[in-house]
Chain A
Amino acid sequence: MNGYFVGVDIGASYTKCVAIDEKEETLRFAVTQTGFDFEESARKVFDEVSKGLNGKALQVCSTGYGRKNVEFANLNKTEIACQSIGCFKEFGVEASIVDIGGQDVKIIRIDVNGKRVNFKMNRKCAAGTGAFIEEIAFKIKIPVEKLEEIAQSATDEITLGSFCTVFTATEILAHIRGQTPLSKIVRGIFRSVAKRISEIDYFSERIVFTGGLSKKGSVLSKMIAEETGSEVFVPKHPQITCAYGAAIYAKETFRASSTPSAKD
């Protein structure tokens, strides 16, 4: 078969695209900021991924908040389903998937066969989401990517109690006024995210931690393990597991239905 299968995940903050072959091996992937034109960002990552690949996209599955806005996709599926497929493919175990997205947190429980048992999302507020980290980073004028390094250097942390991002920022201001060291504050921010996540559901023995904030051995990853009592696993490419799952779904449904190839 001369071609490949594509998953496009249009998230609230980033759009991700993965192309896989028949054996479900990742051929190429690309990530870009979503911005306000979902179709354009989807097309951008799709073109980037398609560049240099032999054959054509046989089937494209879109997922994520913007999944209905991808005109060139043959099918769409929710990010909850795609995340489950992608993570199960990589780890093949019963697990709770913790996906920290730009505007939500998802906890998806999958069984030993990769079947979804349950899923939960954060309630209405931003606490525990990527948006929370971004907002606080902005308030303390530290780039998000620097937070990890700062938190690593801390020996202690502050306690942030609020469910609300704005009120948390106020709590932080009080600590800044009290001359609390920055590293202690940043570590407290990560702890607050881990705590909010641990309150959403109960967890399997293993957690697969995905999303842009996921990193092996990171402060947040360790804190999620501490708060939940579970062992935390991080995928090879934690930001694209959902798009990868969508690509697998595209492949599986292509086989099952022999639908026409993707529009290009």
Chain B
Amino acid sequence: MAEEMKRKEIAATKEMKKLMAKHFYELDEAAKTKKQKIAWCTSVGPAEILRAMGFLVYFPENHGAILGATRKAMEYIPYANRIGYTPDICSYTTSDIGAYLKGETPLSKAYEGITCIPKPDVLAYNTNQCRDVLDWFSFYGREWKLPVVGISTPLSVGEITKEYIADVSGQMKALIKPLEGISGRKFDMDELKRVLALSLETTKLWKACLFTASAIPSPITFFDMTIHMGPAVVMRGTEEAVVYYKLLLSELQDRVKSKVSAVEGEINRLYWDGMPIWGKLREHSDFFSSLKSSIVASTYCNSWIFEAFDPDHPFDSMARAYTELFIVRTDEMKEQYITEMFKTFSCHGIIYHDSKTCPNNSNARYGMPQRLTQKTGIPHLIIQGDLNDLRLFSEEQAKTNIEAFIEGISER
């Protein structure tokens, strides 16, 4: 009978927590004192431009993940449902709006003195993730009578052509003027290049951390990655993020050298496609560990790798980086990418999380699992669930599915 097991803790977590605390306290102070302007930004939005123009940047999707991980989402979603944001749309959006309507935030519990999310001066989106981010930001734009600016990225992109780059790059440049008006600060190209160089360094280090998982056994698992990606999302473009990922990488490289595995006795190596089920991270981590299975790679955590950044060509390279994302691409490109990851990470199987309220991050609805298994021979499992709304997740059914799937892999 499988016993409950914990994954091996990463020592750098302590530093990451300090860093995240600093991030939220800075924002809180700026919101209270009005000493620095605040911009809200979607997780794969134009953060570098905002930072270069002197804004402190807050990422509501990060707040959404915290609402999920603390399971507070369940309490707040109904508040948004009542005003017409239905249970069928992004549960980050509904839980975040619901929390706002109730006048609460889990940040209050985590960080003493913080009583609310930081009210911004502008909201900047990129629809490369989905249309819901625009609806989400538009809610607050209407609520607080604030400007909502952003970029509409083409979707289902195959090859990234110069036309795509010109379109997105043009939209990014068009943000400058309104942002100058809001920030009261003139755009400085050198500052953008400096920020972009830091973002590039962050992203390279984050990638190096993730790719240590190609070692057998893997020193890190998906459940660490989802936590340690925090600075790559909310602090890219800062010195601190660079310093942090150097620390994390060094620890992971030491683990690889000494063959220390995140999951003790690792036997099975899996790929996770789709969103995490935030409210079940700990349980899932223990469950996979008890099955001696390590999730060594994921579409989700790899989505904050922006290797195309080039400080010498800031706008075009940002346009490329934010358009060549997995989520924006055609199924053909996605399948090529995952096939490559199977090889790099020596995967034995893939689990697709079909997240009910996040169709853009769910790749199990148009035959991809069947096609990829046929092509690669790597077996797949689809589990039904959601990123934040646990009413859409059947724990027992998922566990039976996962256990049977891993039994099957072990028998191969």
B residues contacting A by CB (< 8 A) are: 1, 379, 382, 384, 392, 394, 396-397, 400-401, 403-404, 407-408, 411
- 11 A-B residue pairs with Cβ-Cβ distance under 8 Å, sorted by A, are A65-B396, A78-B400, A79-B400, A80-B404, A80-B407, A80-B408, A81-B404, A104-B397, A120-B382, A121-B397, A121-B401
Q: How many chain A residues touch the partner (CB < 8 A)? A: 19
Q: A116, B394: Cβ atoms under 8 Å?
A: no
Q: A80, B1: Cβ atoms under 8 Å?
A: no
What residues of chain B lie closer than 8 Å to A65, measured between beta carbons? 396, 400
Q: A76, B407: Cβ atoms under 8 Å?
A: no
Q: B400, A123: Cβ atoms under 8 Å?
A: no
| Complex CA–CA separation, A120 to B382 (angstroms) | 8
What residues of chain B lie closer than 8 Å to A121, measured between beta carbons? 397, 400-401
| Complex CA–CA separation, A120 to B370 (angstroms) | 12
Contact among A80, A115, A116, A124 with B400 in the assembled complex (CB-CB below 8 Å) = A80
What residues of chain B lie closer than 8 Å to A76, measured between beta carbons? 1
| Complex CA–CA separation, A77 to B384 (angstroms) | 22
A119 interfacial contact with B, CB 8 Å: yes
What residues of chain A lie closer than 8 Å to B408, measured between beta carbons? 80-81, 116, 119
A75 interfacial contact with B, CB 8 Å: yes
Contact with B along A28-46 (1 / 0, CB 8 A): 0000000000000000000
Given contacts A121-B400, A124-B384, 18 further A-B contacts (CB under 8 A): A65-B396, A68-B1, A73-B1, A75-B1, A77-B407, A78-B400, A78-B407, A79-B400, A80-B400, A80-B404, A80-B408, A104-B397, A116-B408, A116-B411, A118-B379, A119-B408, A123-B384, A124-B392
| Complex CA–CA separation, A65 to B403 (angstroms) | 12
| Complex CA–CA separation, A123 to B354 (angstroms) | 11
Most buried by A among B379, B396, B397: B397
Q: Which of A110-126 contact B (CB under 8 A)?
A: 115-116, 118-121, 123-124
B329 → chain A closest CB, angstroms: 26
| Complex CA–CA separation, A68 to B396 (angstroms) | 12
A166 → chain B closest CB, angstroms: 15
Contact with B along A166-192 (1 / 0, CB 8 A): 000000000000000000000000000
What residues of chain B lie closer than 8 Å to A104, measured between beta carbons? 397
Q: B394, A124: Cβ atoms under 8 Å?
A: yes
Q: B403, A78: Cβ atoms under 8 Å?
A: yes
Instruction: List 6 tightest A-B contacts by C-beta distance, closest first.
Output: A80-B404, A78-B404, A78-B403, A116-B408, A81-B407, A123-B384
What residues of chain A lie closer than 8 Å to B379, measured between beta carbons? 118
A19 → chain B closest CB, angstroms: 21
What residues of chain A lie closer than 8 Å to B384, measured between beta carbons? 123-124
| Complex CA–CA separation, A118 to B411 (angstroms) | 13
A64 → chain B closest CB, angstroms: 9
What residues of chain B lie closer than 8 Å to A115, measured between beta carbons? 411
A221 → chain B closest CB, angstroms: 25
| Complex CA–CA separation, A118 to B369 (angstroms) | 12
Q: Which residue of B lies closest to A75 (CB)?
A: B1
Q: Which residue of A lies closest to B380 (CB)?
A: A118
Q: Which of A74-125 contact B (CB under 8 A)?
A: 75-81, 104, 115-116, 118-121, 123-124
| Complex CA–CA separation, A115 to B410 (angstroms) | 12
| Complex CA–CA separation, A245 to B404 (angstroms) | 14
Q: B1, A119: Cβ atoms under 8 Å?
A: no
Q: Which residue of A lies closest to B354 (CB)?
A: A123
| Complex CA–CA separation, A79 to B407 (angstroms) | 11
B371 → chain A closest CB, angstroms: 14
| Complex CA–CA separation, A121 to B400 (angstroms) | 10
Q: Which residue of B lies closest to A71 (CB)?
A: B1
B365 → chain A closest CB, angstroms: 12
What residues of chain A lie closer than 8 Å to B397, measured between beta carbons? 104, 121, 124
What residues of chain A lie closer than 8 Å to B400, measured between beta carbons? 65, 78-80, 121
Q: Which residue of A lies closest to B403 (CB)?
A: A78
What residues of chain A lie closer than 8 Å to B1, measured between beta carbons? 68, 73, 75-76
Q: A119, B404: Cβ atoms under 8 Å?
A: yes
What residues of chain B lie closer than 8 Å to A75, measured between beta carbons? 1
| Complex CA–CA separation, A236 to B408 (angstroms) | 26
A252 → chain B closest CB, angstroms: 12
Q: Which residue of B lies closest to A123 (CB)?
A: B384
| Complex CA–CA separation, A78 to B396 (angstroms) | 12
Q: Which residue of B lies closest to A78 (CB)?
A: B404
B391 → chain A closest CB, angstroms: 9
A168 → chain B closest CB, angstroms: 20
What residues of chain A lie closer than 8 Å to B401, measured between beta carbons? 121
| Complex CA–CA separation, A8 to B118 (angstroms) | 56
What residues of chain A lie closer than 8 Å to B403, measured between beta carbons? 78
Q: Which of A130-149 contact B (CB under 8 A)?
A: none
| Complex CA–CA separation, A124 to B393 (angstroms) | 8
| Complex CA–CA separation, A68 to B1 (angstroms) | 7
Q: Which residue of B lies closest to A120 (CB)?
A: B382
A103 → chain B closest CB, angstroms: 8
Most buried by B among A79, A120, A124: A124
Q: Which residue of B lies closest to A116 (CB)?
A: B408
Most buried by B among A73, A75, A104: A104
What residues of chain B lie closer than 8 Å to A118, measured between beta carbons? 379
| Complex CA–CA separation, A185 to B216 (angstroms) | 58
Q: Which residue of A lies closest to B396 (CB)?
A: A65
| Complex CA–CA separation, A115 to B411 (angstroms) | 9
| Complex CA–CA separation, A76 to B3 (angstroms) | 12
Q: Which residue of B lies closest to A202 (CB)?
A: B370
Q: Which residue of A lies closest to B385 (CB)?
A: A124
| Complex CA–CA separation, A27 to B401 (angstroms) | 31
Q: Which residue of A lies closest to B382 (CB)?
A: A120
Q: Which residue of A lies closest to B379 (CB)?
A: A118
| Complex CA–CA separation, A124 to B355 (angstroms) | 12
| Complex CA–CA separation, A81 to B411 (angstroms) | 10
| Complex CA–CA separation, A73 to B1 (angstroms) | 9
